[in-house]
Amino acid sequence: MVVGNDIVDLALMRERPEHPAFAERVCSEAELGVLYASRDRARALWSLFAAKEAAYKALSKLHSVRFVPRAFCVDAAFTTVQQAGDQLTLRLFHGASFVHASVFDGASPLWDFARRDSACASDAVRVLARCLAGRYLHEEPGAFSVVRDRALGAWDGYGPPRLLLRGRPVGLDVSLSHHGRYVACAVERRSGSERDLLVSS
């Protein structure tokens, strides 16, 4: 079971609007229909994009997948994301000035967001991840760490984040996101079994 999440700071996107051809480049025909019928087109557009990016983060943990936004198809009700043979459940949360997408293939994940203020985004999102994992497993947040392994060909040279509990792998999948003033994180158990949670995965 995997989870992906993405948060978009709508105020930041309003500061510099997207290219006029952006929507046509990233959306399917059906998605464009939804977009043009929306009363809040910017929120609809960034909801679609966040869903696509979250799905990419989740699916890239399962197999090799390219981030071609148009190939990640969000249904008109914003409840699923489909890419090739994979379909994931989508949950959107609309804040006053942000939109958050969680995408998953099992039970609904635990997720949270925070304002990062002046903190480094990378540090702030890891603090949030440790707190969230602590809530999930009833452990102290300080018992967790977040690591990323070197991965040749990855966009920044590193693979997806992994959670460690007291230095050992734990059966929770984690997804990190930060944009503008916000950081967000989602966690979901990798397996359906309670017993597997604390076993190295």
Partner 1 sequence: MNEREIFASVVAILTPFVKAPDALSSCSAETTILGDLKVNSARLVDVMLEMEERFGIQVSDDEVDGLRTVGDAVQLVMTKTSPSALA
Are 98 and 8 contacting, i.e. CB atoms less than 8 angstroms apart? yes
Least CB distance from residue 117 to partner 1, whole Å? 16
* Residue nearer to partner 1 on the CB measure, 70 or 135: 70
* Residue nearer to partner 1 on the CB measure, 8 or 170: 8
Least CB distance from residue 25 to partner 1, whole Å? 6
Residues of this chain that bind partner 1 (CB under 8 A): 8, 13, 16, 18-19, 21-22, 25-26, 49, 53, 66-71, 155-157, 179
How many other CB atoms sit within 10 Å of the CB of residue 149? 10
Compute CA distances 162 → 3, 81, 123, 157, 188, whole Å. Answer: 12, 23, 15, 15, 12
Give one DSSP letter per residue of 33-65, joined into a string: HHHHH-SSHHHHHHHHHHHHHHHHHHHTTTS--
* Residue nearer to partner 1 on the CB measure, 148 or 162: 148
* Residue nearer to partner 1 on the CB measure, 25 or 41: 25
